[in-house]
Structure 1
């Protein structure tokens, strides 16, 4: 464990002078304010790996709706992010991933890249060295089946009749997460109809297989997470011939049930579930059903996919989704922190900006749609916010707590009703074990994660420490005495989830630093003593992971059994999380905090922002990672502003939940 003496060998323990803090805050505040849209909201790019832009290219070729100018720019992006290992990683500077590489290679070949070009040769050799495309994951194999590159029996059995199962049935889609339901519903139609891509250029990738696909004897080879994986593999073998015996009328009824599930949730230009895989599957589903591209449903579904494209002029990539509610909530907290205290930055202008942001947020609160969450809570009134611009069937508990805290912090009577509706909805979404999941209640049938289809291990949305922490912070900030039992159950859940080393797992942000910061904020807001053993263990863990230069960093490798709270360099977002966590539990004057703030002040760039290349969040651990482009801006501003404000505070106590 690194102690204070060791760390201070390279960085002075005294924090920056107040004048320097003021300059840092002023520049960062101005930079973030300049990113606000005219209607009051913030939205930053949300980047994933090569998978999504590659899938977009393949979607165009499936449909024969090719935009060559656009595709050329996607090709520039894909070639740029190829790894030194010859393949494509799941995150910045990450290890080779066979599934991402198979899709990227296929897409580049569709774009016209010569397979003997150096970058294609390196990718192909890497794929073959790792067992060939036959060893790619389930979603990649579905993509290959749609192009006729592998037989459909190369994908797990997922009969469309699943859509007919009631909530009480174990394999019901209602026992799966929101993202699983929206992705699976149109995918099951595709698996039932087995369409073949138009593929106008006749592109094939048989050179990526070690064994010719029609000779592969075992498509399901794990890795298995338990003995149940082997059992479900046997079930897959039994079901495969049995599915053919299902009466045609039942089959057709199930297809109708899938479409009936999808169409109320199409969500306009925001798309089904407002996430790329579900949206792209819907586009292909309509084509497979024979719906003309000119049909409003098919056309809107296609346009919703194209709306995710990010054009930087010389290159283009496709986002997995957009994050305006989340970005606006977090940016708002940073803006308000900078504009509070005796050294407030443009307090009146910020107040006006935040009033505009609040109005924009209030308009997007979901008040009249009972989404999929209502299957478990039919009497609960809606009151949450989604993650995206619109996604009314799938509000997000995490976003709702962050937005609720922001609106409450403004002390504006105009926000009162929105806050009250959000409070009631969040309370109603608490799971039986005291924690909160992101979108569903008690979505924790872990056995489902062992079926062959779920090789990504993320079919569910169980309670997590970070989301639970945010809900406790929100309720504690509101201060309703009658909510105390709800909070106590949540605190008990957090206590049970603490790791042996004192940290908490970060399900939605990288990783243990994110989780630990989130929980420390909640414990402080809920009035848990800063001297409690679990708080002390978390503080010591954060101290132990501080880097010699004073910052903190954590790589996505920590989701893959890599070191926790560690990276090869310090990062702005992780450094901000660490110092915010320490300050939340009364350690504002800890030398570790001073060194962290010093690192942030010295690494601000000339634009008033911070630079950060590594990915800082996760969609599915070990499978799908994310880079929130806004994190490098609002979290450091939040941290430095809070440090400065606490210097001028008599109590050194953080009074807000976040």
Structure 2
């Protein structure tokens, strides 16, 4: 390897046609057929059953249940995802999860399922065997407290007066992740006001508790088992004792501050933070604050969650959010790889659509506390509108697509993106998704943080995307930001050669991401880090030629777990190996053969297993688009590199 990255342009289409040519052509055509009229793509985004279950329970909290047809369809969806042992998992074919099971059971009982029906008896037995509803996570217990199923002491104390804390205070909104911020603030309002669900059907779930809720003494636990966690538990007890002594004037002021935060970020019909958990909490908080349901704020907040509903025949579910920017950018990369002209009728409107959604005039929470001054806005959000919360992962992927397609036409957008990404680099050389230096790890020990996702620290996959972008636009290896990112990635490599995938499942995703970035900065394919990564990927190839990795790998003792090969993970592995120079390897050839043989319908390969993640060990995602654009991308890149003398990939993805 000569150390100089090769940037492949769109391959010239040839007259000869092979089976691979035909597969790429058919898939590209099917993907283009899914494009929306204004140029963008958006695929469904599916989480676990907690989202549709909570949608049902939120509607009943307000006393406005879904119409019977929709409720029945959600019920069918929930029943279809129940495991044989009676519980509900966090991802397809995963283990039963107590919190998901409690919410699904409660929602089905609210919908009208007979508690003595066979599936409800199995669910109840599974929940009780796992310790009962008292063992649910904090968010589930908040929901149960709102329904009066548990006392409020079942929830860690989070006084709304936190809204008044100075920035130096150890627990401050600026010290936690964007998603934690927008979820927590309406929860603070709810905990202060303690409203009660209308529950017009008078449905209760006392049968799910091993010990009667009023007699249960062990709700809140140390989330990490550490001495610091024990100290925070003692602090929680002290806060609970002191809370009645808080002056009412101070509480009213804190509530006004929380309300102002909420209203400033409601985000219209795209919703608070543009993510379902925050949107739902906003709906409930507005109701608790006394906003009538026909108030414009309440109408918009309710509309935001209704817009996430998806129907398929006799079933329906609710998405956790929408992913149009991410889907459009990745689809654009795949089509560019497949030979689609960047100025053609598919890509030009898609790329312009992306350019027009760059956030240029509004600084969000990310701008607070930057020691060297906040950069100018220049990022993209994941969703249709989420202007206060752009993320650098989307920004890097979008900017790479714009630059790759037409660096002159999109020069201004790419330059602003680079300025923002550079300004969001953390001190250790890496990038988090939404904030810089969001690393107050002591906060993961508070009882409220039992989900383990309170923070947004730098991660290998996001850092790799940013590094790939900066290298693609010409920053050299000795640039301080590039050197810092390379150093961060090399330090983060696991002993087996892999990298952890924070936002995709899991080590295959992280390793693909980093190998692409290292290729873009000219890392020698024979370097120890690259050879170890190639060895990891080759060791994880399955007998059928594909790759698969289970969501359970986010538990370290289950790192090697796999259920089946998946098209998206196979594509990541093949793309990673090709970025490492292994285009002609047996592993790549077998991976391509697997994709060519794998079942496929229209634009998508068959893929039921989840390969995305929101919060490791807590919240997983099935990106319906991953089984379309990633396999297309891998097949098209293989074809491109086979037709060229050089085997270098070169650009950032």
The bucket for the TM-score relative to the shorter chain is over 0.9
* Alignment match, 1:358: 351
Structure 2 partner of 1:91: 91
**Offset from partner CA, 1:414-441 (integer Å, 9 cap, x none):** 2111000000000000001000000001
In structure 2, distance between residues paired with 1:527 and 1:132: 54
Which of 572, 575, 588 is equivalent to 1:593? 588
Tell me whether 1:543 sits opposite 2:538 in the alignment.
yes
SS of alignment partner, residue 438 of structure 2: coil
CA deviations 1:504-563 (Å, max 9, x no partner) are: 000000000000000000000011111110110000000000001111000101012354
SS in 1 for 2:302: helix
Distance 1:207 1:182 in 2: 33
- Aligned residue for 1:443? 438
DSSP 3-state at the match of 1:627: strand
Q: Give the match for residue 12 of structure 1.
A: none
Aligned equivalents of 1:566, 1:84: Cα separation in 2: 21
After the TM superposition, which of the residue ranges 222-231 and 514-523 deviates more from structure 2? 222-231
Determine the C-alpha separation between the residues in 2 that align with 1:152 and 1:638.
50
Displacement after TM superposition at 1:603 (Å): 1.0
Compared with structure 1, are the counterparts of its residues 82 and 523 closer, same or farther at alpha carbon in structure 2 (3 Å cutoff)?
A: same
Q: CA deviation at 1:221?
A: 2.9
Distance across 1 between alignment mates of 2:574 and 2:500: 17
Q: Is the alpha carbon distance of 1:530 and 1:106 closer, same or farther for their aligned partners in structure 2, counting shifts above 3 Å?
A: same
Q: Could you tell me whether the CA contact under 8 Å between 1:45 and 1:322 is conserved in 2?
A: yes
CA contact (8 A) 2:276 2:321 kept: yes
Equivalent of residue 488 in structure 1, options 479, 483, 488: 483
8 A Cα contact 1:505 1:512, kept in partner: yes
Q: Report deviation, 1:352.
A: 2.8
**Residue aligned with 1:213, SS:** coil
Q: Would you say the 8 A contact 2:443–2:449 is kept in 1?
A: yes
The 5 A counterparts of 1:510-549 are 510-549=505-544
Residue 60 in structure 1 maps to residue 59 in structure 2: yes
Separation of aligned partners in 1, 2:451 and 2:341: 48
Shift of 1:168: 1.8
Instruction: Give the secondary-structure state (helix, strand or coil) at the position aligned to 1:316.
Output: strand
Give the equivalent residue in structure 1 for 2:650.
655
Structure 2 counterpart of 1:344: none
Tell me by how many angstroms 1:28 deviates.
1.0
TM-score (norm 1): 0.95
1:38 CA displacement: 1.1
Structure 1 pair 608–303 and aligned structure 2 pair: CA distance change class (3 A): closer
* 1:379 to 1:605, Cα distance in 2 relative to 1, 3 A: closer
Q: Name 2:377's counterpart in structure 1.
A: 382
Query: Could you say what secondary structure the match of 1:144 adopts?
Result: helix
Question: Which moves more between the two structures, 597-606 or 532-541?
Answer: 597-606
Name the SS of the counterpart of 2:409 in structure 1: helix
- DSSP 3-state at the match of 1:414: coil
Where 2:483 maps in the other structure, the secondary structure is helix
2:368–2:374 contact (8 Å) kept in structure 1:
no
Contact 2:105/2:123 (<8 A) preserved: yes
Distance 1:177 1:428 in 2: 17
The Cα of 1:228 is off from its aligned counterpart by 1.3
1:375-418 CA distances to partner (integer Å, 9 max, x unpaired)?
A: 03354100000000000000010000000000000125221110
- 1:451-505 alpha-carbon deviations (Å, 9 max, x no partner): 0000001100000000000000000000034982201100100011000000000
Whether the 8 Å contact between 2:178 and 2:434 is mirrored in structure 1 is yes
Deviations 1:172-192 (Å, cap 9, x if unpaired)? 011000000000001100000
In 2: Cα distance, 1:390 partner to 1:516 partner:
30
Aligned to 1:401, which of 386, 390, 396?
396
Alpha-carbon contact 2:499-2:507 (below 8 Å) kept: yes
User: Separation in 1 of the partners of 2:497 and 2:289?
Assistant: 53
Does residue 38 of the first structure (1) align with residue 29 of the second (2)? no
Aligned to 1:167: 167
Q: 1:373 aligns with which of 366, 370, 374?
A: 366
Correspondent of 1:499 among 473, 494, 499: 494
Q: Decide whether aligned partners of structure 1 residues 349 and 411 sit closer, same or farther in structure 2, where only a CA change above 3 A counts.
A: closer
Shift of 1:565: 5.2
Contact 1:337 1:638 survives alignment (8 Å): yes
Gaps of 5+ in 2: 1-15
How does the TM-score come out when normalised to structure 2? 0.96
Confirm or deny that 1:569 pairs with 2:568.
Answer: no
Aligned residues: 635
Partner of 1:313: 313
**1:456 and 2:455 are equivalent in the alignment:** no
Q: Give the C-alpha shift of residue 363 in structure 1.
A: 1.2
Q: C-alpha distance in 2, partners of 1:128/1:348?
A: 58
Change (3 A) 1:412 1:502: closer
Could you say what secondary structure the match of 1:328 adopts?
helix
| 1:14 paired residue number | none
State whether residues 338 and 632 of structure 2, in contact with CA within 8 Å, keep that contact through their aligned partners in structure 1: yes
Match of 1:277 in 2: 277
**Is the Cα–Cα contact under 8 Å of residues 376 and 441 in structure 1 kept in the other structure?**
no
In 2, the alpha carbon distance for the partners of 1:507 and 1:40 equals 29
Q: Is the 8 A contact 2:223 2:446 kept in 1?
A: no
Query: Does the CA contact (< 8 Å) of 1:383 and 1:424 recur in 2?
Result: yes
Using the TM superposition, give the Cα deviation of residue 224 of structure 1 relative to its aligned residue in structure 2, in angstroms.
Answer: 2.7
The answer as to whether partners of 1:442 and 1:462 remain within 8 angstroms in 2 is yes
Cα contact 2:44–2:319 (8 A) shared by 1:
yes
Secondary structure at the counterpart of residue 310 of structure 2: strand
1:299 paired residue number: 299
Counterpart-to-counterpart distance in 2, 1:34 and 1:419: 28
Taking the aligned partners of 1:212 and 1:565, their CA distance within structure 2 comes to: 40
- Structure 1 segments unaligned to the other structure (5+ residues): 1-16, 340-346
Determine the structure 2 residue equivalent to 1:13: none
For the residue of structure 1 that corresponds to 2:256, the secondary structure is: helix
CA–CA separation in structure 2 for the residues paired with 1:608 and 1:416: 31
